[in-house]
Structure 1
Amino acid sequence: MLRIVLALAFLAAAVNSTNVKQCKGKPFPLTVRVQDCEEPPCIVYKGTTVIMEVQFLGNNNNIQNITAKTTAKVLGMNLPYDLPEEVSNVCTNLMYGAMCPIDKGEDVTYQFNFYVEPSFPEITADVTVTLDDAQGEVITCFICSCKLRKGTAATKEEYLLDWRDNQSELKA
């Protein structure tokens, strides 16, 4: 019975996952879910935050620190994209009550909030996301193709409303 429940849970996770590519010679995550995207290229809007959930396994025992790094392949060039500390620190963005240290084989999910700069050109880019331990060893890596587009007025209004609602909650 337990096997059936686990198989159904795995199948449900796989159905909702985004079809990302594996980095050559690097460990692949269990699943990646890009909000509102099952099949890349994912449409992302400039000036917004793309939310990704990366489910992966620990590769060593007692992993104290994990850092997310990103690059974007544009016109054949790999361009680094520096993430702010509050995003690149994987341990502070683990979901479902998980926390560092992580042990080998431990199944955890990282919420990766990727801000798309308004100054980016409207192009398609292959975004590589790598999670590294403190020694620089890759824990997991994937590539997601993204089409960068100008945000619509409706999209901007939706985020503005969300921001106003959050500000009201903070004052209360």
Structure 2
Amino acid sequence: MTHSAGLFLALGASLIAIASTTIVQDCGSKTTVNGVKVSGCELPPCLLKRGEDIVVEIDFENLQETTESLTAKVHGNIGGVDIPWFGVDENACNDLTVGDCPVEGNEKIYYSAHVPILSSYPAVAVIVKWQLLTQNNEDAACFLVPAQIV
């Protein structure tokens, strides 16, 4: 078992597991997250192949007040250091396939983002933290998933 997989299993408190989606750990979502899918990965650690793109999808229902915007904030934690993940559109409203901004209360939202895994990335274990932040900088959706860049 890799260190990241062991850490993930140890954290195990609030796991989200939906059929044909990826098992991830919720990290403070203020909405009802129905599922998260990282292309090609159901059970972490997810293998992220350098030079290829992945698709990250988040299915959630906004139970909060209306938010004018959604901002995507993605980091990779390598050895305890958070490193910004490049290539993700910060304006998450651009990646909504169901719903739109402003996101109203009780609105169903489906977010789908293409993410490049750059060839220049090192082959390393990483914990990916993905946040969709409201205009008030609160986590509409937040998850952690162990991955291995190969």
Q: Place the TM-score, normalised by the shorter chain, in its bin.
A: 0.7 to 0.9
Task: Describe the SS at the equivalent of 1:102.
Answer: coil
RMSD: 1.9
Q: Which amino acid in structure 2 is aligned with residue 50 of structure 1?
A: I
Match of 1:15 in 2: 19
- Give matches, 1:17-166, under 5 Å: 17-23=21-27, 25-27=28-30, 29-84=33-88, 87-96=89-98, 98-149=99-150
- Where does structure 2 lack aligned partners over 5 or more consecutive residues? 1-16
Q: Write out the 4+ residue segments of structure 1 that deviate beyond 4 Å after TM superposition.
A: none
Q: Which amino acid in structure 2 is aligned with residue 22 of structure 1?
A: D
Q: Which amino acid in structure 2 is aligned with residue 111 of structure 1?
A: S
Q: Which amino acid in structure 2 is aligned with residue 133 of structure 1?
A: T
Shift of the alpha carbon at 1:37?
A: 0.9
Shift of the alpha carbon at 1:20?
A: 0.7
Higher helix share: 1
Once the two structures are overlaid, the 10-residue window that deviates more, 31-40 or 53-62, is 53-62
TM-score, length of structure 2 as denominator length: 0.80
Give the whole-Å Cα distance in 2 for the aligned partners of 1:59 and 1:89: 20
CA displacement, residues 64-109 of structure 1 (integer Å, 9 cap, x when unaligned)? 210100111101212222445xx2211121114x211211222211
TM-score, length of structure 1 as denominator length: 0.70
Higher strand share: 2
Q: Percent identity?
A: 26
Report the count of equivalent residues.
133
Structure showing greater radius of gyration is: 1
Shift of the alpha carbon at 1:59?
A: 4.2
Task: Describe the SS at the equivalent of 2:109.
Answer: strand
